[in-house]
Structure 1
Amino acid sequence: MAAASVLSTELQEELICSICLSLFQDPVLLNCGHNFCQDCLEKVWEAQSGGRGYSCPECRREYREKPALHRNLKLCNIVERFKDTQEEQNAVTHPCDFCLENPLPAINRCINCEASLCELHLQKHNNKFSQRNHVLVEPIDTPKGQQSNTPECTWRENGICICVGHTIIPADMYQWERATLSEEVKKMQLARKKIEKALEDVQAAIGTLKVNRNSQSSQISNVFNLIRTELNRKEEEFLKSKASEENAKHLELKRQMENLNVKRETMVTLMRKAHDLSLQGDGEHFSRAFKPIYEKIQSLDTSVGTFELPEAKLGGSTMSRIHEITQSFINQLSALIEGKVSQLPGQLKEYSRLSLTFDPLTANSELILSNNYKMVTEVHSRGSVCEVKASEKINSGKYYWEVEILGNGKWKMEV
């Protein structure tokens, strides 16, 4: 068998085209005695057509004119017979993994290299010092459904697996490992579905968060706009009230100033007359003028009255109280907006808050429910009534629930 393999290898070398290095395909014979595939030779001469002439690709014999090509029928028959012989051999033997064209039958298989070797390639394999200790076994056929070169093991028909480390593993252990791996894959598939569902829920939550954020931002802006409007109105009222009070005080102070000016002028006149009278040397004239002046001096109103000076700013205690009230208001407002109010409004204290979810089985086809069944969106508004029921049932007790409406439209809730 070894001699036949060597002979087959030598014959194959003689049937190789020197251009394509494969078995002859439609071989043609030149006058120089060399054979080539017809297509290969035509391509070579096509490349030489722009030169001085044509030549044999092997011996370089030149031809002035392009020779007529004649098919070598005998060589063609030999090639076809050789191919048939190789196919018959390959049908009953394991092919060599290193033969590129028309592989020869393998006589051994190297466990370490995971390759089947013909006699010629086995000699080359054993000539390498690093491969002399490799484990060689008889060539084996590959079971259906398995590749010829498995990455880890070589299979036998009796269900035994020979590993690279030369450990024999029973087939039942292999089947158990495959079943275990299959179960793990199923578990991962279920876990992947859960993760994908969670991703969908998170994506829906992000969408709901954006909608809620826009709605809450609008509501908060409305609250602060209302507060600013009320504060501006109160500021205007306070300023008008203060201006009215200041005008009244100003008029009162002007009247007091006019009265004081009159008293001062009267007093200055009497003082001048009294001074002039005191300089009078005539006793009779002094006596006659003294009594009228004295009576006027006695009846003179010298009172200045009482009045309060206006304060330039609000008192310290007042400002402190205003600061306390303002801070308390801001804290209560923040608690309301952030949802941290522990006390419900008076009319809701006796009720329990109920969180409702929509029942998808009762939803109209024009409605789309979110993944958590907390939000509903109408696809097309056609004027018809689109309803959806809640999943919760109430048998007794007092409950309340909150509903947020986005956009314009008509809606109605029934119990």
Structure 2
Amino acid sequence: MLFIGDDWAEDHHDVELVDDEGQVLARRRLPEGIGGIAGLHALIADHLPEDWIELEPEQVQSLVKVGIETDRGPWVAALVAAGYEVFAINPLSVARYRERHSTSGAKSDAGDAHVLAEIVRVDRAHHRPLAGDSQEAEAIKLVARTHQSLIWERSRHVLRLRAALRDFFPAALEAFDDLDAPDALELLAAAPDPGRAGRLNRRRIIPALKRAHRRNVEARATELLRVFGAEQLRRSAPVEAAYAAVVASQAAIIATLNTQVEQMAAVVDAHFGRHPDAEIYTSQPGLGVVLAARVLGEFGDDPHRYTDAKARKNYAGTSPITRASGKKKIVLARYARNRRLGDAVQQWAFCSLRGSPGARAYYKQLRAKNVGHQAALRQLANRLVGILHGCLKTHTPYDEHTAWNHHLSNAA
């Protein structure tokens, strides 16, 4: 076999080729892009063993193993398309392997390429090859992550807006429970300081409430007028003007993010609806289209990626870890995990409490044993991930009786 370590940067790749015995055959720095990938193919061709000449091209490609610290991008896609077996090695793992080769603390791109080549030569059995997900799953993962990132970004800006209002205009926090609501954003854009808010009238407030589809607009308008017209502590005029500019800019950003979140959700819906496993995912209790798309995108759809339900649970981060030494044994939550998937399955577990009697009964059993709320949700999420694995393995939708009857009967 040939083993390649690829230390990538934004505009170049340091690569090293080694053989089965660990002998270095070549080192190169290749540019990013078509020229660089063509150079890598040529470098591999120049060092093919003589006994490979009679092999078919597909056989030759499968004997080339590549280690790299990323699982995405056009370069990685080109390596997979060429038929090489690619291992995406976690950078934290590479750092530990680097200490195995050198204790001096020295680091270089060429040295990292050597470490990556040695990982796939010696320890590739302990690392997972790049999953063979379909193009549809890759697209779902991209749009679902973007949608999730937009929501996280909106939350950050809402917190910034709340902090600014708390410092100079606390009446606005009393007036609006949800600062990302359309009526709150419209009125804050029109009146971002106490002075202008105190001059608002019904003709300005009621249309904003109606556009936000609020109920009891007359009563709500009266309440807002009371809050904005009440006496309150004020800052100096220059400070208020500066804060007002901050509030107006944050309100505009949040309004734009609201629009983009809604539009991206429609894109997620369109991509997810075309996937053959969509029906299985949406049959799970607590999984709507957007949340199901996140779960599918992060798990992928390679049928050979997870050997069993435990492997899928480990990847989701729902299964606990055990630290045992001598007579001491501690079971802990698994915090080193895919953060996006962990967030999605935790939300899935919470939503399932309303849609599944079995999930709700299981959660109540855990709480009755003095298990905390978050820990109970993690255990419920672990169970749900196992159920999903079984549904995908057998290509059957979720069934409440099948999923929970055996477990709850044993508990009784």
TM bin, normalised by shorter chain, reads under 0.3
Report the structure, 1 or 2, having the larger helix content. Answer: 2
TM-score normalised over the length of structure 2: 0.20
Work out which structure has the larger RCO, using CA pairs closer than 8 Å and 6 or more positions apart in sequence: 2
Greater C-alpha Rg: 1
